[in-house]
Each structure stands twice: as C-alpha cells, then as structure tokens.
Structure 1
Amino acid sequence: MALKPLVELSGAAYAYEDGPTVLSGLDFGIARGRSLALLGRNGSGKTTLMRLLSGGLRPVAGELRLDGSPVRYDRAGLTRLRTSVQLVVQDPDDQLFAASVEQDVSFGPLNLGLEVAEVRARVDAALAALDITALRDRPTHLLSYGQRKRAAIAGAVAMRPRVLILDEPTAGLDPDGQERLLDVLAGLTDTTVVMATHDVDLAVRWADDAAVLTPDGIRTGPSADLLSDPELLASAGLRQAWSPAVTAFLRTRGMLDAAAPGPRTPEALSVWPA
C-alpha cells in the first residue's frame, strides 16, 4: 500500500520569465518517514522542484498540495506550508544573516509568534540536534564552512518541519564532515529528509527512495533499484554508483551468483583484473 504524500505536486509546470519551461506535467510527492535523494544533471530542474515544494515558487499550471489540500499562496497559506516544509539552500551564506548563531536559529520561530519560552526550547533542541550548542553565541561570520552548514540547517529544524529539503548539504565538506552531517540527519527521526545531490554513491547508501530528473520527466522508486539502472543514470548525466557497478561486473565475470549478495568465495576476488 502506497504511503500518502505529506506534500505533493500534481500536474505541475513552471517557466521562468522570458525563459523556457523548466518542469511540465510533474506529479511528485514526498511520503512520511522515507528518506529521499533527488538527483539530476545541472539545469534539470532540481532547484526549481525544491522551491516549488517549499512555496518559494508558484506553479504556472497544476497545484501543490499539503496533506491532500491545495496550498493557498496568501500569507496564511504560506505560513501553514512553511511550518511543515523547510528548504535549506546549498550555500549557507545565502541563508545566514543574523549576528549570532542563536539569533539566526531563533528568527523563524519568533516570526511564528511563539512564546519566548517555546522559542528558547526550539532553539535549544535544534542546536543540540545539529551538535552546535557550543556555538550558540558565536558570530555567524566566524564559523567554519561546515559549522555554517549546520547552523543553517538548525534554523530550519527549529521550525519543527515535517519535511526538510536540503540542497547539496554535503557539498564542500570533507569526508569526516560529510559523515558527521549524515549522522546528524539520521537523528532527525520526526522529520522526513529530502536531499538533492549529485553523489550517486551517497544516495544509494543513505536514501530509502530516489527521484531522478531526466529530459523525459522524473522517475521515482527505491534507491537501491532505481540507482542500479545504468541507462536511467546516463540519461540524467550521472555516474553509476560504485557498489551496483562492482556487483554487475562480478556477475558478468561469473564471480557472483545471480541471487547472491556477494562473492562466492574470497578466492574469487583474487582474479580481479590488474
């Protein structure tokens, strides 16, 4: 039984002013509790799709629905959407603006009109979730790049969204920083996380589901299955993930049974070509 989407686009299209249509006839939804990787080449419409889902853009055709109801683009409707869906952009410097980390993280909850005690509780929880409590009073311009990434995400987490959309959150981070961020995301158990990325290996390892934007539209499905399709990845300008590629290679060489999850014997690996 398919999970009911929390937020979904139905027959959606978008075209920038004096530009070509970027997305057309798009049906796409985000289900509760399923981590999702969004992939596609530059210019495929990933950023447009994320901004449509978060209310930053309004479709020129079709509609955006939240909990099955069409989203209204007045103040009340957008406030309702943004308490459920938060987008964190790729460059944290495009999002951080306050003098300190605490001031930046508290901005969204304060603008919801919450009581001071509730705002403080949300800020404390968000800083703890992103492991940056010690940076509470640090000026944002003195943070490292990885710290700025975490502070930007904390600002979104403080809104207590049901869906958190991250645009290339691991870009620019070293391997240790990437792993630390993935550990943080794994701890957001009450939030459905969507991650736009070009890293197919990361998507296979991290995401339950994947969505791949191609010139023919969007394909969705379990990440392990979808991202093992070399033709689909080629059409999206993406490289094959290491694990499925190696598995396919081993099977073509008779080193892996079709139904087996790994090499038949350790000795089989000794014939790997030099």
Structure 2
Amino acid sequence: MKLDRDSSKRDQPATPRAFSRTNTLGRASVVVLAGLGVAGLVALAAGSTPLPGVATITEDLRTAPEPIGRDDPAPIPAVRDVTAMVHAPGASTSNGAEADGSACVMQAPLTEVQLAEVLQAGYEAFYGRPASANRLACAWAHCAFEHGRGTKLFGNNLGHITTTGAWLGPTCVKSFTHKVSANPNRWASSSQTFRVHPTLEAGALDYWKLMDAQYPHVMIACDRGDSLAAARELRRRNYFTGPEDRYVQSLVQLYMEGLGSVLTKMATPPWPIGPKPVR
C-alpha cells in the first residue's frame, strides 16, 4: 500500500497536466489489436484467445481476491480478504460505512459498464473533458482488478485508497490476513483505514486526483496504450505489494478486454472508439 508522501499536496486539487494527444495503441497493445481485429478482441474478452507474449492467466479474474488499498508509506505483505470480519450491509448505509472509523460495509455491486461510466464521470469532473479510450481502459482495468470487476466495493472508494491524518472526511476500517514475510507458513491479521465518499462519482474523482498527483508516469504509459509499462510502474511505485506477475498480467488482459468489450457499450464510448470530444 502507498501512503501519501505529501499529505498537504494530496488533499488539494492538483493542476491538470497537459492531455496527451497520442492516440496510438502503444508498443505492445497496438500489435495485438491490429492483429486480432474485432473478432479477436471479442475472443480475447471471452478468454479463448491468449494475449501474445504474456503468460495465460488460468484463474478466473471475476473471483480473484481483491488487492488492498494504498496511501501508506511502506508496503505490506500480500493479503487476502477476511470476509467474516466485515459487517454485512445495513439498510441505513449508503456509502459503505456505518459510522466514521467503523468496519467497512460492502455496497451494491456495479456492472462492468457502470464502473467505466463512473470512472469517466470522475475524470470529466477533475479534468473538464472526457478521458481517451486508452486512459479510460487502463483505469477500468486497474479498478476492475482491485474491485472484482465492480462487485467488491465499499465506501464508494475506487482504487482502495487508504488515508492518513491529512484526510478530514469519513473513514472505515477493513481487516485482512496476510502471510508473515519471515515465515510464509504463518498468517497474521492487519487492518487498514480507507477513505469513504458520499457518492461513487466523488470516489472516482479522488482516484483520478491520486493518479494525477502521484502516478503521472502510469497515465503517460496508458496514453500510448502501453498497459504493460503502466502496470509495472504501479508496482515500482508500490501501489500493490502482491505477486507482480499476476497483477501485471491481469491488468494487461483486462485492458484489452476493456477496449474490446466494455468501453464499446458505454452510452458515449470514449474517443477514438466513439466520437472525438469537442474542444
């Protein structure tokens, strides 16, 4: 997990960076997309076509355990969820928390397309324009992996962003178990505190704010369609602490799936899948 290294900077609106006009699909992705065509993308989305140059992922990404959030200064061991330690959803809760600092509450799931729409809404709120297909597909792949394709959400928190004392909004606590690094055969429990937002759009805005302020090179790689470099940069910057191969391979495959079978179903698909936004 990654904590805010400059809390005062994190909680203020970041100056939007110049939007990349690079519309090519990047070093690895363009070759695959050009070679696969529409039918190939559909087959890839269905899992029947392996991604060239990337080891085939045999586990079901829809049921893979979600990684945990970030915003901590030091990485922690890879974790798995302890669902028994998370309260069941309550009728009076709408944002995934019973009260400030209470146990995180799982909220209603999103469809894959709804997850893309929410991320696009947050991007437009922060940057004042829609995200390109490359950038949105990267973000969708990232959040789809983190949140079980939209089925594992709490606190309207996208990206599993944790918090420090600089965060003045509500929070919730989630418990995990993890392997002890000194003895992989032992498991230990730990808890993390996560930000809670009033709406999913606010959570998406916070996600883009984090990416803009602390992971600009991830977005640069996304803009050129290089999902492999984007995933490796997330690891280099300690966004996740689990096995790198699984995380990176999953993000690359999900990126291709997002482009081929998710973003195309949005109400307004991002450019160049959809119409070019008017400046």
* Higher Cα radius of gyration: 1
Is the TM value for this pair above 0.5? no
**If the TM-score is normalised by the length of the shorter chain, which range does it land in?**
under 0.3
TM-score (structure 2 length as normaliser): 0.25
Which structure has more relative contact order (CA 8 Å, sep 6+)? It is 2
TM-score, normalised to structure 1, is 0.25
